[in-house]
Structure 1
Amino acid sequence: MNSIIIYLLSYNQYLLKQISLLILFIAKYIPLKQWAFDDSHSPEYQKFKVDKLPKIFITEKIDYQFLLAYYQHKYGIIVGPVKRRSQAFFSETIVCPRCGAPHQYLYKNNGSKGQFYCKVCDERFNETNIYNRPLALRCPYCGHILVAKKDRKHFRIHKCTNTKCSYYQRNLSKLPKDLKAADKNKYKLHYLYREFTIDFFKMDLHELPKSAINFSFKKFNPHIMGLCLTYHVNLKLSTRQTSHALKEIHGIDISHTMVANYAMTAAAVIKPFTDTFDYKPSTILSADETYIKVKGIKHYVWIIMDACKKSILGYQVSDNRAVGPCILAMRMAFEKFKTFPGKALKFIADGYSAYPLASQQCNLQSNWDFDVTQVIGLTNDDAVSTEFRWVKQVVERLNRTFKYSYRVTCGYGCENGALYGVSLWVAYYNFLRPHPYNYWKPLNELDAFKDAGNMPAKWQVLIYLGQKTILEMQKSQVD
């Protein structure tokens, strides 16, 4: 018995030795797959990258008399006043903003340019000193104070202007050798930080409509409203075509304006139910943006979907392609998780820089710490694209499905109408549209649909569930 155990132990040691030799051989002669893009280190792509968060410098003032006593007790050094070589004017009102040392301990550090130096605490300061601010932002690479350069609609751009910063020097070394000095401004070289002036995490995602809670039909009935939504949303007919179909098929004389009012009201009521439904999402999400027209002006629709279960979890309509609506769409999607998966979440997007910037703000404001995997290009030239291309194709296919329904509208008349039009289509896609993925059944089957014999009845059930959700939200606000 002992001989068998000794033999097995020696055999295990032999196998471990062979495994270690194979690992060394693979590491030396077989190159591993490259997960980073070959051109990701190019200076031309630097402007699409999001820099890490800056260091926050919190000002702490000290007493210069305490420092003088400390120097004498600790080192036996008596720090005396400055012995000036010239009788240049030096205002007695100037004191050190950090330790409060009077003008006797201050130098003019750079002549007439306005910088002073404190002999007691070694602080350099001027009129715009950091101790006059509640906090200061510093570069995470060199510690230099960031300078506010530009003000945009929702954020302020801060820049590290230190030419000796390691971040700047590293990017400078990547530039082509034959580049002219005047062309350096075409590349992103300095560290940048965007400070948002609006809090996208305090905005209400589920604002309750004030005038779309109850329906009063003076001429028609709920069944006719369900017919309007069926023709307009399910069959992708325009409001005029829907009005014509109702008249020719059912003998119902209804104007296209009434059809549009029914769609707008139904969307406002169903939207809270769609946005707060428990989709039980997976940990693989895909995001993309597509464009629409509102009064002939290009707008954008941001969509975040569950790549496995195919449900749309977050969406926003915006007049710009900035990071703000991207954050709101992420908030809407992440609120579907009862427990946020953190690093286990796989968030797949294209190469647009708004997604990593939004993820940085999500981690900063709501502790949603996750990584954004960006699939760039149309071909699988690297390991990232090879593994996650299918996730990106899922949301691209969803965009084509949405565009097929949107095309009949010829654009929206207002931003509010565009938002409610998209939300109505999301409700149809998540709860009514048959999907081959789910054996030609809706993605999310509701028990309330069991007694609904046709599609107009299902739309009425969705309106009822939306009204019920609105009442629950109103009660929670009162409580």
Structure 2
Amino acid sequence: MDIIPYLLNIIQYQQKQICWILNFICRYIPLKQWAFDDSHSPKYQKFKIDKLPKIIYYEKWDYKEYIPYLEWKYGKKIKTVNRRSECDIDDSCTCPRCNAPKPYLYKNNGSKGQILCKVCSTAFSPEENRFSKSYSLKCPHCNHSLVHKKDRKHFVVHKCVNPKCPYYIHNLNKVDKKDLKETYGKNKYKLHYIYQEFQIDFFKMDLSSLPKNASSLKFSKFDSNVMALCLTYRVNLGLSLRKTKQALKDIHNISISHQSIANYCKTAAICVKPFTDNYDYNVGKVLTADETYIKIRGVKGYIWFIMDAAKRSIIGYRISDNRGVGPCILSMRMAFKHFKEKLPGHFKFIADGYSAYPLAAQQFFREFGENFKFNVTQVIGLTNDDEVSAKYRPYKQMIERLNRTYKASYRPTNGFDNIDGANYDLALWVTYYNFLRPHKHNNYRVLNHVEMLDNADNMPGKWQLLIFLGQQQIKLLQQKNCS
């Protein structure tokens, strides 16, 4: 017997056995990841984001053009309805699909009120016109029309209420039977398919718009060096405005008001922000994101950070007065614009268990298609109860450490007076963090080396050069918009 065919038969037999064993393990022996994966629990179903619905667009027809088309295409002549009794359809009633008048309409179910058009075979009710809107949303699991349930600040909640929907039945079978016996036991779980339709297009909002009420760089009493000194004490050393004023008086014998220092910081933030946002950070394949809290006039506000896990640079940031998905999308847009046309292969986006991140990822896929399709790797909780959290916990700790670093500079302010002030302060701090701050993990060097800054002997000189680079970037953006 030839040895080669014999060995090939053994290899094929072993391959079948391995496939059978893998199939058996996947079905009946839960792995460690699956055993502790909260996403399989019905209690955590409310944190999952359902897939996009089916969108059915309605195209308006004209019966005067549709009747000749049917006759030309199929040889079918459409005549008016031959009525055997008096018709009580209103004379002004027309088909909502093709606008056919009363002679082409007849009652489809007797006295129950439904009317059928003989031209386009559309059944409708005179009181309800489903063709008044340009499209309708269908459940992707049962093709049932979604029902408008709730209105929120930026979106509308649609729900599939079909009791025979396979998605609903599948979730219902996983629910604890004790809860089903209670009066409102089902309300503890998310069972039906739900879709959130946003009323604001966050992908058309301008990310590079400059705030108003900034002072000029034409100095009358002081010069650019005093402005750079203000930035060094205020941003690098984390002093408050009044302590910065006191430091300038005690060390440099410069008498300046704290309001003038605030105006300098505002103007500097407007200048350096375009350079910081459009700098080529050479972003890697792993991003990590998180949100934290700040105070704006005593009211809780939110700050969003997106960091490149490889170089630790902040490539996306946003301050908002709400924790909705809108600011999350805007911060993601700021980060993803560094990828140009599409995301790199094996891309990872790591965040916590907050549902805004998967929902934002869904909106990116809906807007840009496969080029920006990605899944959010969620590190849930503070302990490593599953394999995903254990593997990606260090990335989550990076962004948490960044939050604490920012809070250390934010704490002397005792909160901000308005959201514009918070934006100015954040823009300056991100510039300092990315280009001026020495980092321990980078051998006490800056994260992003800018050759022009080597010409400065001290930190105020570096701030002046950053302002100059920001002005150059503003000119480039203006030329690009004009062309």
TM interval, short-chain normalised: 0.7 to 0.9
1:439 paired to 2:443: yes
Residue deviations 1:158-192 (CA, integer Å, cap 9, x gap): 22232222222323333332332334334323222
2:169 maps to amino acid: Q
Shift of 1:105: 5.5
Residue 462 (structure 2) aligns with: 458
| 8 Å CA contact 2:80, 2:104 repeated in 1 | no
What is the aligned partner in structure 2 of residue 50 from structure 1? 49
**Residue matched to 1:219:** 221
Q: Distance in 1 between matches of 2:208 and 2:141?
A: 40
In terms of mean alpha carbon deviation, does 246-255 or 411-420 score higher? 246-255
Deviation at 1:228, TM superposition (A): 1.3
- What is the distance in 1 between the residues matched to 2:385 and 2:285? 25
TM-score, normalised to structure 1, is 0.87
Structure 1 window deviating more from structure 2 (427-436 vs 115-124): it is: 115-124
In structure 2, the residue matched to 1:139 is 139
Structure-2 separation of matches of 1:144 and 1:153: 26
Q: Which amino acid aligns with 2:160?
A: C
Question: What is the aligned-residue identity percentage?
Answer: 52
- Contact 1:213–1:467 (Cα < 8 Å) also in 2: no
The aligned counterpart of 2:190 is 188
Tell me which amino acid in the other structure corresponds to 2:229. Answer: L
**Mapped contact 2:89–2:102 kept (Cα < 8 A):** no
Inter-CA distance 110–43: structure 2 relative to 1 (3 Å threshold) = farther
Q: Which runs of 5+ in 1 are unaligned?
A: 1-5
Note if contact 2:80-2:103 (Cα within 8 Å) is conserved in structure 1: no
Distance change >3 Å, CA 394–CA 117, structure 1 → 2: same
- Alpha carbons of 1:401 and 1:229: their partners in 2 closer, same or farther (altered >3 Å)? same
Matches for 1:43-192 after TM superposition, within 5 Å: 43-60=42-59, 61=61, 89-98=88-97, 100=100, 102=102, 106-107=106-107, 109=109, 111=111, 114-117=113-116, 123-126=122-125, 127-178=127-178, 179=180, 180-192=182-194
Of residues 128-137 and 454-463 in structure 1, the stretch that sits farther from structure 2 once superposed is 128-137
Q: Measure, in 1, the Cα distance between the counterparts of 2:376 and 2:454.
A: 40
> What root-mean-square deviation, in Å, do the aligned CA atoms of Structure 1 and Structure 2 show?
3.3
Q: Report the equivalent of 1:3.
A: none
1:34 is aligned to 2:33: yes
- What letter matches 2:467 in structure 1? I
Q: Quick check: 1:391 aligned with 2:390?
A: no
Superposed counterparts of 1:301-312, under 5 Å: 301-312=303-314
Q: Which runs of 5+ in 2 are unaligned?
A: none
Q: Which whole-Å deviations, capped at 9, do the CAs of 1:14-66 have from their partners, x for residues lacking one?
A: 66765665565566467544258533233332222211111111225586968
Q: Give the partner amino acid of 2:336.
A: F
Work out the CA distance in 2 between the residues paired with 1:426 and 1:68: 65
Structure-2 residue corresponding to 1:280: 282
Structure 2 SS opposite 1:434: coil
**Matched letter for residue 188 of structure 1:** K
2:297 aligns with 295
Deviates more, 1:231-240 or 1:250-259: 250-259
Deviation, 1:462, is 0.7
What's the TM-score, normalizing by structure 2?
0.87
| 1:397 CA displacement | 0.9
Match of 1:411 in 2: 415
Residues 1:97 and 1:374: Cα distance change in structure 2 (over 3 Å): same
In structure 1, what is the Cα distance between the partners aligned to 2:324 and 2:31?
37
**1:245 has 2:251 as partner:** no
- TM-superposed CA distance for 1:470, in Å, is 1.2
Give, in angstroms, the shift of residue 340 of structure 1.
2.2
Counterpart-to-counterpart distance in 2, 1:65 and 1:205: 51
How far apart, in 1, do the equivalents of 2:447 and 2:110 lie?
Answer: 70
- Give the Å deviation of 1:350: 0.8
Instruction: Using the TM superposition, give the Cα deviation of residue 154 of structure 1 relative to its aligned residue in structure 2, in angstroms.
Output: 1.5
**Candidates 373, 376, 383, aligned match of 1:379:** 383
| Number of residue pairs matched by the alignment | 471
1:36–1:384 Cα contact (<8 Å) kept: no
